[in-house]
Amino acid sequence: MKIGSSVTPDYQTHLEEIPLLNIYVDADACPVKDEVYRVAKRYRLPVTLVANSWMRVPLDEAVSLEVVNAELDAADDWIAEHATPGDIVITTDIPLAARCLEAGAEVLGPAGRPFTEDNIGGALATRELLAELRQTGDAFGGPPPFAPKDRSRFLQELDRLIHKVLRLAKGSPS
């Protein structure tokens, strides 16, 4: 079910003037949704939040909410099926990041660390190792708390990725 307003003619004209770039947010536990809205508004880019339940989104024609069923990985599956080259995906989910990279999308974690072809293998291996350690009781806890420096790094990296995608779409070297 897609929740959002229809695109006005002025906004549609803007979308036709720039290369197609969508920002998809794995939204259920994303701590940087407000930052995504702010940056997307500056660039006039569409944002789709994907979640297992309804949540409040800005009244902005560029922001929509895709509510998927509550099945395990339903939001991840929806994002992976829709992410294409030239899109940006915001997620902490490492397997989802790998799937989106495989589809050609750029992927960014909320702490501002991009997932890339060079680091995704190590991230998947570390995730698997930590899961095994937690199962045996040898590791406790989770990721470090979200800090203001993470928010700042996220904003800088999101801005960099948008510029990279737009340059590539226009045929300029990265």
Helix, strand, coil percentages for the chain (3-state, nearest 5): 45, 15, 40
* 123-174 tens-digit pLDDT: 767 767 666 666 777 666 667 788 999 999 999 999 999 999 999 888 866 5
Beta bridge partners of 48: 24, 64
What's the rounded mean pLDDT across residues 16-44? 89
Task: Name the DSSP letter for residue 49.
Answer: E
The residue count for the chain: 174
Task: Give me the pLDDT at residue 174, please.
Answer: 53
Q: Per the structure, how many domains does the chain have? A: 1
Kindly state whether residue 174 falls inside one of the protein's structural domains: no
| CATH code (residue 101) | 3.40.50
Task: Give me the pLDDT at residue 142, please.
Answer: 67
Q: Is the pLDDT of residue 2 over 50?
A: no
